[in-house]
Amino acid sequence: MSNLLSVSEAAELLGVSTKTIRRWEGEGRLNSTRTEGGHRRFKVSDLIGNKQDNSLTVAYARVSSNDQKDDLERQKIVLEAYCAQKGWSFEVISDLGSGLNYRKKGLIKLIKLICSEQVERLVLTHKDRLLRLGSDLIFTLCEIFGIEVVIINRSEDSTYEEILAQDIIEIITVFSARLYGSRSDKNKQIVEELKEVARQLK
């Protein structure tokens, strides 16, 4: 192997796309020289020094409403402790919002990181913390980009009936909030009735 690599050779060495190599060069994260023909060339020594740039672990936490903020903090503590114990370089992203909302700020940031090939693994406390209906779509993205998915509490996953009940409750909660207003007495009554139904199903 020559000491100077082309864009495609650099991408193969680092395990990323040629688009990522060009972006990193544009951001100043990689140095390059130019041939007489204007082609980029990268030193192997420079690339090896950047080989761990795409080894970020992202831990994602989410709760649906403000009254679950304590649970959000617990999730973050569990995720931080787990990642630190493994010795991973990590970032925690959190969201407060419905699992049916695909436009949450944290979720969008997570998807962008996945697609920019900066993530080595995704860590969750439970599968449903990602999305209520659609988490498999994110897991497919992770598979495409070679990202490991770690779910800490797999053994505590809910039964099919519990998952279905929670999905229905969240759907009705979201739509009743849109219909009556999230702080209205009518909406609060519906939410409480739904929670009681959920308790009876467990």
Residues that are catalytic: 64
Provide the sign of the torsion angle of the four alpha carbons 154, 103, 68, 114, taken in this order. Answer: positive
Burial class (CB in 10 A: 0-12, 13-18, 19+), 60: buried
Q: Coil, strand or helix: which one is 3?
A: coil
**Cα distance between residue 168 and residue 165, in whole Å:** 5
**Cα distance between residue 127 and residue 50, in whole Å:** 32
The token pair that represents 60 in the structure block: 């994602």
Q: Beta 33-34 vs 40-43: how paired, if at all?
A: antiparallel
HSE value, Cβ hemisphere, 13 Å, CA-based, for 1: 13
Burial class (CB in 10 A: 0-12, 13-18, 19+), 117: buried
